Amino acid sequence: MNSRRRQLIQATVALGAAGALPAQAATEIPRRDLGKTGLKVSILGLGGAPIGNLTDHKTAVDVVKLCYDSGVNYFDTASAGAYGLSQSRYGAALKGVRDRIVFATKTRNRTYTQAELDLNQSLANLGTDHIDLYQIHNVINQEDIDFIFAPRGVMEMVVKARKAGKIRFVGFTGHTDPSILNQMIGKYDFSTVLLPLSVTDGANKQKSFEKLTVPRAREKGMGIIAMKTLGAGALLRERAATVEQALRYVWTLPVSTAILGCSEPEHVRLNARLAASAKPLTKIAMEEQRRRVAGLNMEALEPWRPRTA
């Protein structure tokens, strides 16, 4: 964890009683509709990569359990790399509360066979017979879309697995170009979209997901899931916003949940406290935040976005 974030977290935790959450914290994190799925999800969701990257299994499991105990019910993961390990750790930590949580996982595979192996591995790792939200991950261009919907492509597998009860709802994700995500919205009755949303994206004068894709998703009644709300840490490094400012901005948007990485109990306590106390910003305050970051180095604040986007 970088030193600025550690200092901020420590200062915030010190405001509480030895950093402990109130006993009623589990009921305080607001929950919102996940689009038209009928699911209610905590506005704070846990991202899997930091959990998978922890070297100590017990610590990872304890962090996941603390998230659940703090009121988080949305757990995001995938099957590849550190995410694959996070799936196993989710399965270990959340055994016995399956009916109270939402498991969301993703696949980067584009063929029927590879995606089917991916799905079955995810089910085994998570210790469940179904995935609540299965997402086609990181859709990047038109060629990618063509592969996804091609005969014996991943969507063919997803439709079959959904009929078999292995998948409840289907979504997709993207980091790069709002126009590509908008094309995906029109290709299938997706339940959700996972995309980068932050004050930086809101201030982006070229292609903003907030301005271009969120309205389309809302028209379709989709659940909107935010990622990279801290710009993968760039907002803190560049002093563009504090953790609280960044999260309040995103939670003011019409999102169902915002996924955050938590690798230490301090992360969980701070983020849960901010979620429990979050109040929407006014339109004036939102615009002030956008103006404040508009003159900063967008390339540094959004390192995942191609410079042509």
Give the model confidence (pLDDT) of 40-58 as tens digits.
Answer: 999 999 999 999 999 999 9
For tokens 């790069």, name the residue: 176
Read off the pLDDT of each residue in 72-77 and give the average, rounded to a whole number. Answer: 98
**Joined tokens for residue 160:** 């079959």
Distance of alpha carbon 240 from alpha carbon 213, whole angstroms: 24
| 11 has pLDDT over 50 | no
Question: How much is the pLDDT for 307?
Answer: 59
Please say whether the beta carbons of 135 and 172 come within 8 A: yes
Decide: 18 and 239 in contact? Cβ < 8 Å. Answer: no
Q: What is the pLDDT averaged over residues 27-52? A: 95
Cβ–Cβ < 8 Å for 196, 283: no
**Domain architecture of the chain: domains with CATH:** 43-301 (3.20.20.100)
C-alpha atoms less than 13 angstroms from C-alpha of 205 in its C-beta half-sphere: 7
Distance of CA 96 to the CA centre of its chain: 23
Dihedral over alpha carbons 1, 125, 42, 109 (to 10 degrees): 80
Average pLDDT over residues 135-144: 97
What length is written for the chain? Answer: 309
Instruction: Characterise 2 by phi-psi region: left (phi > 0), alpha (psi -120 to 50), beta (else).
Output: beta
> Which segment of 8-12, 126-130, 285-289 scores lowest on mean pLDDT?
8-12
Residue 24 has pLDDT above 50, yes or no: no
Q: Which amino acid is at 162?
A: R
258 compared with 3, residue with greater pLDDT: 258
Checking if the pLDDT of 302 tops 90, the result is: no
pLDDT for 4 equals 42
Instruction: Answer yes or no: is pLDDT of 89 > 90.
Output: yes
Give this prediction's pTM. Answer: 0.90
pLDDT in tens, 271-299: 999 999 999 999 999 999 999 888 888 77
Mean pLDDT score of the chain: 89
d(CA 195, CA 17): 35
Q: What pLDDT does residue 2 have?
A: 46
User: Tokens at residue 67, please?
Assistant: 């998230």
- In this structure, what are the phi and psi dihedrals at residue 237, rounded to the nearest 5 degrees? -60, -40
Across the range 170-175, mean pLDDT stands at 97
Q: What is the pLDDT of residue 239?
A: 82
